[in-house]
């Protein structure tokens, strides 16, 4: 399946106190590790960032929000608007334990279920979400159709910014997180782990240094 990988760099990282995407893991920034990993899977890699300066030397296309200051939905919208492929991976920059095998499993699953998806109102699935054992969706590690940018533009214009309010209304398929991590060193909890506070980074760095995830 041809797809575009869209990395959401995030906002001002006020809770972390510094730009999360520039935090180091194994001598490389989190953004550098993420985009280089994605480039091994697809030739279409985009970074969504309102400040392009930290990422210019990485060599990937950088785009900014059309609705700045409106959170993750604005980043998803910008990425989908810039995409040239039907299907798109959205990945937050602050999920350090997402590895290439996890993405490949998600892509394979998306290709399989969309080939046989029931048609509702003239279309198949809009999205594919990993879902934890507790039933929580991971909307910032998920696949979306490019056409969803139209609906997102309306929501953003109306300041309807809650991610889960949007995703609940999408016609979607689900893949269990535990199925995505099979055969890898990463647990289900680690795959879903994201960093918001300095202590999250300290924990993630300690786990990474101990295990040296590829």
Residue 94 assigned to a binding site: yes
Which two structure tokens, joined as six digits, stand for 125? 């699935």
How far is it, in rounded angstroms, from Cα 203 to Cα 71? 25
Which two structure tokens, joined as six digits, stand for 159? 């300041």
Residue 78 assigned to a binding site: no
| C-alpha torsion sign, points 90, 92, 97, 99 | positive
Residue 54 DSSP label? G
User: Has residue 68 got a pLDDT over 60?
Assistant: yes
Polymer length of the chain: 214
Percent of the chain clearing pLDDT 70 (strictly above): 94
Q: What are phi and psi of 70, to 5 degrees?
A: -115, 25
Whose tokens are 């972390």? That residue is 16
Q: What is the pLDDT of residue 214?
A: 53
Q: How does residue 27 score in pLDDT terms, banded at 50, 70 and 90? A: confident
- Mean pLDDT taken over the chain: 92
Instruction: Give tens-digit pLDDT for 169-190.
Output: 999 999 999 999 999 999 999 9
Residue 8 assigned to a binding site: yes
Q: What is the pLDDT of residue 122?
A: 64
Q: What is the pLDDT of residue 104?
A: 98
Q: What is the pLDDT of residue 165?
A: 95
Q: Tell me the mean pLDDT in the region 45-73.
A: 94
Q: What is the pLDDT of residue 156?
A: 97
Residue 40 DSSP label? T
Residue 65 assigned to a binding site: yes
Nearest in space to 80 (alpha carbons), one of 8, 32, 173, 19: 8
Instruction: Give tens-digit pLDDT for 74-122.
Output: 999 999 999 999 999 999 999 999 999 999 999 999 999 987 666 666 6
Helix (H) or strand (E) holding 105: helix 100-115
Count of C-beta atoms within a 10 Å radius of residue 41: 16
User: Has residue 49 got a pLDDT over 80?
Assistant: yes
Measured CA to CA in angstroms, residue 119 lies from 115, 116, 151, 154, 171 at distances of 11, 9, 19, 24, 10
Q: What is the pLDDT of residue 52?
A: 92
Residue 9 DSSP label? -
Domains present along the chain, CATH in parentheses: 3-211 (3.90.550.10)
Q: What is the pLDDT of residue 15?
A: 80
């Amino acid at each position: 399946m041809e797809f575009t990988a869209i990395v959401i760099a995030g906002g001002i990282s006020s809770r972390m106190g510094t730009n999360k995407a520039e935090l180091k893991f194994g001598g490389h920034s989190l953004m550098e590790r993420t985009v280089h990993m994605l480039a091994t899977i697809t030739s279409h890699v985009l970074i969504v960032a309102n400040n392009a300066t930290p990422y210019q030397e990485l060599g990937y296309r950088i785009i900014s929000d059309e609705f700045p200051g409106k959170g993750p939905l604005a980043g998803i919208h910008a990425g989908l608007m810039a995409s040239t492929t039907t299907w798109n991976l959205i990945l937050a920059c602050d999920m350090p334990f997402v590895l290439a095998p996890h993405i490949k499993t998600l892509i394979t699953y998306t290709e399989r279920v969309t080939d046989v998806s029931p048609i509702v109102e003239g279309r198949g699935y809009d999205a594919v979400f990993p879902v934890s054992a507790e039933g929580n969706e991971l909307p910032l590690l998920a696949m979306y159709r490019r056409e969803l940018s139209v609906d997102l533009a309306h929501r953003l214009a109306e300041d309807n910014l809650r991610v889960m309010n949007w995703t609940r209304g999408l016609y979607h398929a689900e893949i269990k997180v535990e199925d995505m991590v099979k055969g890898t060193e990463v647990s289900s909890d680690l795959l879903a782990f994201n960093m918001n506070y300095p202590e999250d980074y300290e924990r993630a760095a300690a786990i990474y240094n101990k295990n040296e995830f590829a």
